Amino acid sequence: MPESLCKPGQFFSMEETVNGVEQMAVSLAASRSRSLPIVMGVVFCALAVLALILAAPSLAGPLAGPSPAEPLDLTMSKDASPARVASGSVVTYTVVFTNNTDQVNTLDAITDTLDASLSFEGVLAGSDVLVEPVPAGEGLVWEGPLDVPPHGTLTLLYQARAAESTTWSYPCNSVEAAAGEVRLGPEEACVTAGPEKMSLFLPLLTNRFRLAHFTLAKTASAAVVEPGALVTYTVTVENIGSQPGTLATVVDALPAGFAFHSMAPGSDVTANPLGTSGTITWSPAESVQPGASLQLIYRATASQTPGSYANQVSITSSDVLHLDGPASAVVNVGVIPSLVDHFEAGIGLWTPFLNYHRLEPGQWYWGPTDGFGGSGAATHNCCVSPDKEAADALLMYLGAGAENWTDYRVETKLLLRGGVDKEHNWSLIDGDPIGLWVRGQYEYEEGVTIRAQWVTGYYVVVAGKPDRDNLVVRLTQIQTLDDCVGDACENPQNLYCFNNVYVLAETPLYKPFYREQWYKLAVEVRGPRTVVWLDDEKVIDHVDTKEPFLKGTVGFKTHETWTASFDDLIVTPLY
């Protein structure tokens, strides 16, 4: 046998192999008389080696198999806020994908498996992924393609509601993602859910107390900025409970193109956050006493791309059970709002609807200290005179071109103090619903006074009692000849009436509608679609498939209200 055939790991040509086998066979044949069985065995092994070589011309290549594909340089993280949540309250989940390469990485799908005690509430406004998920078994699937920009992030923000329960539970849910053949995750986030209130029983004494409760608010220094300009954001955390609590983290989801710049004077938190774009996080670990508040003030550089940008913040705590939030602030980059009214000098821009026997001009008025933080507001009182008691009431903006507005976002702050009961007395639990009029049209013809006409559009209203968990957000539409229900279709005098509507969609939130408390109501209308947020929680997403109103102005709507106030109204066009 050639010596080269005996060297481990050495490769040789076919010609060398055949010659070697022939030489080996001749040599062994010469000694067959001494050991024929050994000869035959060796020849058989040599032929087997030859067959393998014929089947695989290069042992170093095909036998080793293909090289594995290089993994995408994508990372994924997930967190839940708050870490402790009251039964029946919402949890905000933040899933962040980070691309560490120079190329766009594309996700085919994101799959999230909710715990059985959690129910999906909706995607939040600050999320990069805005499509609603598709149910799949016990999970939710956001279908791609979903692009993660080079050296950037893709953030998914959504909320789930913890089940009502009188006992403690520890629900977890996990997320996975697919990008071609690559699988990311699972990443898991867990929360503690339990009753908000506790009872302490002592001999001859029962003491019922409320734990720490953090509220959350966020504002921006300007509603409109130039591309690349600095924006100052203020995050306020207030403890309205009776026990101190610790603010563990503040998590802010900066919009695409925005970047952290610096902390601002007056901030109680002075350390810079972790991260400068996408999701940035402060970890102050500050104690907030009952009745006290903490402010985090920072600057960010706005995007260079014109548009409307919502910036959302959430908080976590190691010992506070009830955390409000998230909270958001909207900044328009290079987009001029169609209307901004903080009611600092009256309500002269607005027109009350008066074509009804219960209505009179003085029911809508300017309250110089009725607004948010003691500023001015547009206020309605159903009962300013003894012989007029308004039921439905409408205050309209009829500025030039407003009734031709098409796609826009309108937001306002609203507060209800009370209403009138069936005995015509003031009542704390009455006065609802109140809200906004959108895509509205109004016509008035001198000398023609068909009562309650002529109005079209949608109402987005908030209803509920302060002593019951029955808050509901409702989308209704004014009935028209082409879109009506029931008897209204047979009675033209009931069409185009400001007080004759039917319900398109409504969402119960299973909590009280408190009096003397400010709420933020935001509505986006784009084509036939209407999306509604209450305190930055998306509550309605409805497409009017019948006869949608596609353009129109805005206004305020009340019902048997004594009194309600509206402040800080902003209308921003959507492109």
What domains lie within the chain, and their CATH numbers?
A: 3-64 (no CATH), 74-194 (2.60.40.1530), 210-333 (2.60.40.1510), 339-573 (2.60.120.560)
Taken as a whole, the chain contains a residue count of: 575
* pTM (predicted TM-score): 0.54
CA torsion 422→423→425→430, rounded to 10°?
A: -20
Cα 177 versus chain centre, distance:
19
d(CA 138, CA 57): 51
State how far the alpha carbon of 61 is from the alpha carbons of 55, 58, 356, in Å: 13, 6, 89
Reading the block at residue 446, the tokens are 């001198």
pLDDT at position 388, please? 85
pLDDT tens digits along 67-87: 444 456 888 999 888 888 788
pLDDT tens digits along 175-229: 999 988 888 889 988 888 877 655 544 454 444 455 789 999 999 998 888 899 9
Question: From the CB of residue 66, how many other CB atoms can be counted at a distance below 10 Å?
Answer: 7
For residue 440, the surrounding DSSP H or E stretch is strand 434-442
pLDDT at position 306, please? 87
Q: Which residues pair with 188 in a beta bridge?
A: 174
Task: Assess contact for 479 and 500: CB atoms under 8 A.
Answer: yes
The bridge status of strand 134-136 relative to strand 322-323 is: unpaired
pLDDT at position 69, please? 42
**How would DSSP label each residue in 488-536?**
GGG-GGGTT-TT-EEEEEEEE-SS---SS--EEEEEEEETTEEEEEETT
d(CA 81, CA 398): 42
Residues whose CB falls within 8 Å of the CB of residue 67, separated by 6 or more in sequence, listed in order: none
Task: Assess contact for 189 and 179: CB atoms under 8 A.
Answer: no
Question: From the CB of residue 307, how many other CB atoms can be counted at a distance below 10 Å?
Answer: 17
Q: Which DSSP letter does residue 480 get?
A: -
Q: Which residues pair with 434 in a beta bridge?
A: 462
State how far the alpha carbon of 507 is from the alpha carbons of 121, 149, 190, 471, 541, in Å: 11, 35, 27, 9, 10
pLDDT at position 205, please? 46
pLDDT at position 169, please? 83
Residues whose CB falls within 8 Å of the CB of residue 146, separated by 6 or more in sequence, listed in order: 106, 107, 110, 129, 154
pLDDT at position 119, please? 87
pLDDT at position 211, please? 78
pLDDT at position 395, please? 97
pLDDT at position 371, please? 95
For residue 287, the surrounding DSSP H or E stretch is strand 286-288
CB < 8 Å & 24+ apart, contacts of 35-44: none
Residues of the chain below pLDDT 50: 1-18, 21-22, 24-39, 42-43, 49-50, 52-70, 200-202, 204-208
d(CA 174, CA 132): 18
Reading the block at residue 318, the tokens are 């190691």
pLDDT at position 38, please? 45
